[in-house]
Structure 1
């Protein structure tokens, strides 16, 4: 039996889906600017060159614990509001009857990818990082190896406010909002798989553009600071959009948020692959081979390891998709 209310035709007009998606993205980013405690303070000091400068005592920067706490609360509340919006959409579309609320709740949980948690698809992303992982193994920095330290390597991830932001709350809330909620409403509007995979992640990339202001302010609000912030933001827009394509496919293919969330956490911990640096530090054909095998393995397993019969986003009845 399906755990969602299914429709033969898209019940949501596409313009309304755009409105929902805009609400999800704008409320998520905008929430961190509502509270004064969550906003970074402007630079009132003298302009500095495009490099990190000393922090004034009265300033609030992005990595200040108080700013992080306020922002985590803000995005958590925004994420909850987006989930409630999807729930209300399911309820109203199902007939707006009180006796259908339970069905709408179950349908929402399923459409947000919270109904099941497949483990095999969670291994696709680590396989892509076979090269960087092999390098870390060679230098002894993997967990429990000689150069791995609980205080230096584990505590910053789980016992600091920056760690909670970067590796727990941000991946969780961003995937719920920009994958679960956004893809749910676009699927409800009948958008094609291709467009959902390759267009909706652009909002995820654009949601990071506001960091340009914080970088510009931190570096002194000069012309060189503006140039650096622009270049950095464009690069971030590119790789966050590419990462969004990856997570959108994982979510739609599996019907679960767990592979996307685990990929997000893993990539935030690992960072971007640094092939050039790895080869310079340890020139070895084995590292090159590990990078190649990781890419080949990723391509091979992405389709095979993510195949499931329980995804609403990848199921068809005959030749017709189900909404």
Structure 2
């Protein structure tokens, strides 16, 4: 299969197409006229339709503007990471690696009485009936990872190296979250506070985007960043202030677990994300 001829200006094609793809994703969320905020069921349902539309049409950008060396050799499902070979490994190992990174917050959660609620079937039944839960843990991770990783990274690889693509693609992902600033202002939050909150969100979503892009390139599977994204949304950003409020002995132990998780993650990163473990023939030569 051959894509759009990038030989005349591969830099322009591989740089501008992701901009339009990101704008396509964010713009689709605002085509619906509504007086409700983003957490209202009506807003969420309409944005689910937008997310589904973008997910279906994002591969069109890839087909026409993707890296020719990928389009000429592999099928679209293979390029976007929809394949069975190495699927179980891609489903398990990156998630385990991420749990190690979140070792501190995980221990805090397990020692908290609130953890018992997750063992209650009634709580899960309530979650499955909650539109916000579906948005945060299923629809948003799926549509965002498919658009910003599975479809955008192969476009960037038409000009940029894999390392550059891993660093660049999260910028579009981070910017795509800045629209929340508008919604906060509409709710009555001050402009400066909204800006600072959005700047913080941009920072950590960009850092996560780098990790997620690395997962996609190293494993060659869409499921890896999708499952990890869903897990990170479940865990949330680590609450350092909660740790500081523990009694001294517990605070020292938990802080040590936080450090242990981070150090272990850094040590295991390249080991667990070895492309050959996932039979990654698509991106192995460029990872």
The reply to whether TM is greater than 0.5 is yes
**TM-score tier (shorter):** 0.7 to 0.9
CA contact 1:122–1:263 (8 Å) conserved in 2:
yes
Match of 2:270 among 294, 299, 303: 303
Range moving further from structure 2, 192-201 or 236-245: 192-201
**Which one of the candidate residues 19, 22, 44 is aligned to 1:22?**
19
Question: What RMSD over aligned residues (CA atoms) do the two structures have, in Å?
Answer: 2.8
Structure number having the greater helix percentage: 2
Stretches of structure 2 lacking an aligned partner (at least 5 in a row): none
Would you say the 8 A contact 1:62–1:68 is kept in 2?
yes
Q: Structure 1 residues 111 and 232, CA, compared in 2 at 3 Å: closer, same or farther?
A: same
- Structure 1 distance, partners of 2:32, 2:73, is 31
CA distance in 2 between partners of 1:195 and 1:219 (Å): 39
1:172 paired with 2:145, answer no
1:120 is matched with 93
Alpha-carbon distance in 2 for matches of 1:115, 1:192: 23
Match of 2:213 in 1: 248
Paired residues of 1:121 and 1:250 also in contact (CA < 8 A): yes
Partner of 1:218: 187
1:65 aligns with 2:41: yes
Range moving further from structure 2, 245-254 or 79-88: 79-88
2:111 maps to: 138
Q: Which ranges of structure 1 fall in alignment gaps of 5 or more residues? A: 42-59, 95-102
Say if 1:211 and 1:233, in contact at 8 Å, map to a contact too: yes
TM-score, normalised to structure 2's length?
0.86
Alignment-derived partner of residue 178 in structure 2: 209
Deviation beyond 4 Å, 4+ runs, structure 1: 103-106
Rg (Cα) greater in structure: 1
SS, match of residue 246 in structure 1: helix
Q: Normalization by structure 1: what TM-score?
A: 0.77
The whole-number CA distance in structure 1 between the counterparts of 2:223 and 2:185 is 35
Structure 2 Cα separation of the partners of residues 277 and 251 of structure 1: 33
3-state DSSP class of the match of 2:98?
Answer: helix
Determine helix, strand or coil for the equivalent of 2:275: coil
1:230 pairs with one of 166, 173, 195 = 195
